[in-house]
Amino acid sequence: MAKFVYMFNEGNSEMKEILGGKGANLAEMTKIGLPVPFGFTISTHACNAYYDAEKTIPAEVKEQVMESLAKLEQESGKKLGDPENPLLVSVRSGAVFSMPGMMDTILNLGMNDETVEGVARLTNNPRFAYDSYRRFIQMFSDVVLNVDTYYFEKLLEETREEKGYTADPELTAEDWIEVIKGYKQIVKKHTKNAFPEDPTEQLFLSINAVFDSWNNQRAIVYRRLNKIPGHLGTAVNIQSMVFGNMGEDSGTGVAFTRDPSTGEHTLYGEYLINAQGEDVVAGIRTPQPIKTLKDEMPEVFQQFSETCRRLEQHYRDMQDIEFTVERGKLYILQTRNGKRTAQAAIRVAVEMVNEGILDKKEALLRVDPDALNQLLHRRIDDNHERNQLAKGLPASPGAATGQVVFDADEAELLAKDGKKVILVRQETTPDDIHGIVAAQAVVTSRGGMTSHAAVVARGMGKACICGCEAMKIDLHEKVFQIGGTVVNEGDIITIDGGTGEIMLGEIPMIEPELSEEFQLLLTWADEIRDLGVRANADNPEDSAKAREFGAEGIGLCRTEHMFMDSKRIPIVQDMILAESFEDRKEALDKLLPMQQGDFEGILEAMQGLPVTIRLLDPPLHEFLPDKEELIVETTTLKITDPDSAELAEKEMLLKKVRQLDEFNPMLGHRGCRLGMIHPEIYEMQAKAIFYAVAALAEKGIEASPEVMIPLVGHVNELKQMRELVVEAAEAVQQEKGLTITYTIGTMIEVPRAALTADQIAEEADFFSFGTNDLTQTTFGYSRDDAEGKFLQTYIENKVLPENPFAALDREGVGKLVETGVKLGRQTKPNLKTGICGEHGGEKSSIEFCYYTGLNYVSCSPYRVPLARLAAAQATI
């Protein structure tokens, strides 16, 4: 005879196909010796046999169910329908693949007018017994007899009203007895039959209902959506109920095998004596910490601790356990991998390696790289309420509190006074850099994840929210408005850059901590990964931070940030405004030693590690005042002081600003196109780099500069710029009488560069994929506007799977990266390749970089730990 029914001790986790997921799991727990309430599983094959027999339970299945029931009764010492010591069971469906909500659970099956009294006696709690009975009638009627719950709820409500109660706990045992009578009348009215009192009949009706539920509308739709074949069938699990409310030697609780917030290896959780699961959830009584179980029930505690140890050994992870003690006997009702904070995830993973439960690779896979962000930044204490005003894009993680300012100069001034400020702008430009430095955080109403504010703030590890379109900023009135709330300059706000939330007032914070375990886990990541990790940094402080976080070099030093210093900006403007070559040269000569100083600082901080320095990239108008503001100023001066020198100067400036104005600045005169038209700018920068190397060499400090030319689209651009850099190097070498080691490479940021990478590689020692621009130019989406305008809607409506400026679009942009690497290495097999767009700090993009054969990723210093872990995970 075919076997259709399995006791829990007859199966294991491998038998999912026969026992369903839940049944196989219960069997596995039983097999490893856990005290699981006993029971049996009716197999998926029985379900199919039921359908083959035109929806009747075949006789042999029935027979096996009765045999298994007898075994269960024997094992539990209770009997289905026995008023003295009634066995009550739960009935649950359990398909091979989990299908949540397919059929509701039936609890307390076996209750009837007689057994309810037995339960009342045994628990010494008639109220509980009758409440359980009425719940059973309601559940059973809903799931098995198809009587709508609505009728029962209505009756209950009427009873409450009649008695003047506000909530169910106020009903007494007598009240429930009355309700039960009413419930039975409802059943009679709607099914034309009395409620089935015979527990065996209840059992078989439930089994029928579970089998039927396999083909209910919900299940069919769910299977179609999830591509689950219809022939699999569902299993049915029958498990004995246990009661935690049978007296002072009973109880119920939930516990973690380790502390889920710190990861400490200690039992963590709570329990209630003489209580059922609902009592813990309902919060009527205050549960006790699990540690006190040691005094109240030492033997149970001992057994529980041992069970936890065994569970961890078996499932090889921290467990979240539901348990019940029935008259001094421990039962495990459920166990699953426990949710935990990032800090706990790290500590648990590392300690499990030390305890021999996991190996290092497994431990590395247990920590989500994204979660590390939490640990590297200050964050909001979750114990406090968030009074959210609006949500923008979570552009740079971390939390900050400060008074609102709308102007970079003001931010700098207030910060000098020791004030904490949050800079709020429609968007930021390199002009605002000093304000960003001074502020605790930055908020913009426009711009996306790769906008200026986002990139700069991430680089500094500062919290930032971008593209908060709900925020209407009035710079003249110095207020912003969100919905009906007006926030004035000077008002205090708190922001969470990790979630994009903006909140009114101050909220307490938790400081970041870099635990020993964290450091250790990262050293394991370093042992395993092949992909290099560098940082994007533009100054010695960020470079030092990057080193501290484990960066192996600088993958992108954006030199434009160095031009924005308040002392330099007038000289930079002189350079831009110069009408003659001589005037421009004069300005450049002043800038050279300043840039040299910058490079010395960064190269020194990196101690001989490679430093990729990118020559000037943004359009020059970014260094000049805003056109609109200039128009207002000149118009005002024309009225108030028409003959002034200031007006003449401003008009000149406006003329130049207008000359440089472009319809599409991001596709305009920027990148290497600047160097092509104004070679003297790049020449100054190249010389500054080589002078810096020479100066360091004199001090005995090693330096490895890699000069990078941005936004190349045609090999001829690179050829020309390369010659320029080589000449600069030769000039400095000759002047200083030493040999300088350096390389020259390019960024691949436009599709043409990727598609002609074989030609470009002729002139390049390395490629660095600038995937911010490459995404912009491949999709044709403006990186500054797209997110605020349509991209969010695209993502919500699933037009795009995710934001391509955050996670690299493998199918499109990724194909260009692959092509670029392949063609480049056709020309130069050992061509060094890396990525320095924001994707270099995002885990799925890092995985892609590994598969594409890049040598390194480069990201902001605060993302370096994430990148080290993600790179290791990609390798595993």
- Tell me how far, at minimum, the Cβ of 833 lies from ligand PEP, in Å: 14
Q: Which is nearer to ligand PEP, 252 or 860 (CB)?
A: 860
Contact window for Mg ion (CB under 5 A) among 373-381, 638-646, 736-744, 763-771: 763-771
Q: Which residues contact 526 (CB under 8 A, 6 or more apart)?
A: 550, 868, 872
Q: What residue 837 binds from ligand PEP, Mg ion, none (CB within 5 to 8 A, per partner kind)?
A: ligand PEP
Q: Is the dihedral of CA 518, 521, 527, 530 positive or negative?
A: negative
Q: Which does 852 bind (CB under 5 to 8 A by kind): ligand PEP, Mg ion, none?
A: none
Identity of the residue, 349 or 454, whose beta carbon is nearer to ligand PEP in the bound complex: 454
| Rounded-to-integer distance, Cα 632 and Cα 614, Å | 35
The length of the chain in residues reads 876
Stretch that binds ligand PEP, among 134-142, 146-154, 565-573, 769-777 (CB under 6 A): 769-777
- Least distance in angstroms from the C-beta of 434 to ligand PEP: 19
Question: At 848, which helix (H) or strand (E)?
Answer: helix 843-852
Q: Binder to ligand PEP among 25, 772, 778, 782 (CB under 6 A)?
A: 772
Side-chain half-sphere CA neighbours of 838 within 13 A: 25
Q: Is 787 in the site for ligand PEP (CB under 6 A)?
A: no
- Asked if 836 is part of the footprint of ligand PEP (rule: CB under 6 A), the reply reads yes
146 is in an annotated binding site: no
Closest to ligand PEP by CB, 386 or 714: 714
Q: Please, what is the minimum distance in Å from the beta carbon of residue 556 to ligand PEP? A: 6
Collapse the DSSP code of 396 into the 3-class scheme (helix H, G, I; strand E, B; otherwise coil) and give the result.
Answer: strand
The footprint of ligand PEP on this chain (CB under 6 A) covers a number of residues equal to 11
175 is in the binding site of which of ligand PEP, Mg ion, none (Cβ under 5 to 8 A by kind)?
none
Residue 402 is assigned to a ligand binding site: no
Tell whether the torsion through CA atoms of 87, 91, 96 and 101 is positive or negative.
negative
Using CB under 6 A, pick the residue from 312, 432, 600, 773 that binds ligand PEP: 773
CB 846 within 8 A of CB 814: no
CB of 664 to ligand PEP, least distance (A): 15
Q: Active site residue: 377, 452, 621, 678, which one? A: 452
Based on the shown chain and the rule CB under 5 A, indicate whether residue 773 belongs to the binding site for Mg ion: yes
Task: Round to whole Å and give the CA distance between 371 and 382.
Answer: 16
- Rounded to a whole number of angstroms, the minimum distance from the CB of residue 671 to ligand PEP is 8
3-state secondary structure of 412: helix
Q: Which stretch binds Mg ion (CB under 5 A): 328-336, 572-580, 596-604, 765-773?
A: 765-773
CA distances from 403 to 428, 439, 452 (A): 18, 10, 22
Q: Which of 202, 515, 463, 204 is nearest to 347 (CA)?
A: 515
Among 23, 260, 705, 770, binds Mg ion (CB under 5 A): 770
Q: 238 or 556, CB closer to ligand PEP?
A: 556
Q: Which stretch binds ligand PEP (CB under 6 A): 293-301, 403-411, 413-421, 771-779?
A: 771-779
CB closer to ligand PEP, 393 vs 473? 393
Contact stretch for ligand PEP (CB under 6 A) within 492-500, 770-778, 797-805, 842-850: 770-778
Q: Can you tell me which residue has the tokens 């100083």?
A: 597
Residue 496, φ and ψ in degrees, nearest 5: -120, 105
The tokens of 219 are what?
A: 């299940």
Window 730-749: contact mask with Mg ion (x via CB under 5 A): -------------------x
Q: Any alpha helices (H) in 475-580, and if so which ranges? A: 516-528, 540-548, 560-563, 569-577
> Active site residue: 672, 836, 849, 859, which one?
836
What is the rounded distance in angstroms from the CA atom of residue 358 to the CA atom of residue 363?
Answer: 6
| Whether 794 contacts 767, CB under 8 Å | no
Any contact of residue 556 with ligand PEP (CB under 6 A)? yes
Residue 772 CB, shortest distance to Mg ion, in Å, is 5
List the single partner that 556 binds among ligand PEP, Mg ion, none, CB under 5 to 8 Å by kind.
ligand PEP
Q: Which does 836 bind (CB under 5 to 8 A by kind): ligand PEP, Mg ion, none?
A: ligand PEP
| Contact partner, 858, from ligand PEP, Mg ion, none, Cβ < 5-8 Å per class | none
Binder of residue 771, out of ligand PEP, Mg ion, none (CB less than 5 to 8 A by kind): ligand PEP
Q: Binders of ligand PEP among 279-318, rule CB under 6 A? A: none
Count of alpha carbons within 13 angstroms of residue 439, beta-carbon side:
36
Whether residue 143 contacts residue 104, with contact meaning beta carbons closer than 8 Å, is answered with: yes
Q: Return the DSSP state at 436.
A: H
Q: Give the Cα separation of 822 and 831 in Å (integer).
A: 10
Amino acid sitting at position 660: L
From 213-221, 330-338, 360-368, 766-774, span contacting Mg ion (CB under 5 A): 766-774
Rounded distance, CA 367 to CA 384, Å?
26
Any catalytic annotation for residue 836? yes
Strand pairing partners for 240? 89
Candidate residues 397, 540, 770, 788; the one interacting with ligand PEP per rule CB under 6 A? 770
Nearest to ligand PEP of 502, 556 (CB atom): 556
The answer to the question of whether 558 is labelled as a binding residue is: yes
**How many CB atoms within 10 Å of residue 222?**
17
Tell which one of 175, 279, 326, 617 touches ligand PEP (CB under 6 A).
617
User: 396 φ, ψ to 5°?
Assistant: -150, 125
Q: Which is nearer to Mg ion, 294 or 714 (CB)?
A: 714
- Using alpha carbons, list the distances in angstroms from residue 79 to 82, 118, 124, 251: 5, 11, 19, 22
How many whole angstroms separate alpha carbon 328 and alpha carbon 250?
Answer: 6
Q: Please identify, using beta-carbon distances, which residue of 415 and 681 lies nearer to ligand PEP.
A: 681
Complex with ligand PEP: residue 392 or 837, whichever CB lies closer:
837
What is the Cα Rg of the chain in Å? 35
- How many C-beta neighbours within 10 Å does residue 196 have? 18
Query: Annotated catalytic, 265?
Result: no
User: Dihedrals φ, ψ of 866, to 5°?
Assistant: -55, -45
Q: How far is the CB of 504 from ligand PEP (least distance, A)?
A: 33
685 contacts: CB under 8 Å, gap ≥ 6: 559, 595, 613, 615, 616
The residue within the footprint of ligand PEP, chosen from 749, 765, 842, 847 (CB under 6 A), is 749
Tell me whether residue 41 is annotated as binding. no
- Taking the complex as a whole, the smallest distance from the CB of residue 568 to ligand PEP amounts, in Å, to 19
Contacts of 195-201 with C-beta under 8 Å, sequence gap 24+, read 195/137, 195/140, 195/141, 197/112, 197/113, 198/81, 198/112, 199/80, 199/81, 199/109, 199/110, 199/112, 199/115, 200/80, 200/81
Select 552 or 784, whichever has its Cβ closest to ligand PEP: 784
**Sites for ligand PEP among residues 450-509 (CB under 6 A):** 455
Q: Tell me how far CA of residue 105 lies from CA of 109, 144, 603, 607, 873, in angstroms.
A: 10, 11, 66, 65, 39
Q: Is 749 annotated in some ligand binding site?
A: yes
Given the complex with ligand PEP, which of 473 and 835 has the nearer CB atom?
835
Query: What type of residue sits at position 737?
Result: G
Asked if 178 touches ligand PEP (CB under 6 A), the answer is no
Least distance to Mg ion from the beta carbon of 562, Å?
Answer: 17
Residues taking part in catalysis: 452, 836
- As annotated, the binding site includes 558, 614, 749, 770-773
Interface contacts to ligand PEP, rule CB under 6 A? 455, 556, 558, 617, 749, 770-773, 836-837
- As annotated, the binding site for substrate includes 558, 614, 749, 770-773
Interface contacts to Mg ion, rule CB under 5 A? 749, 770, 773
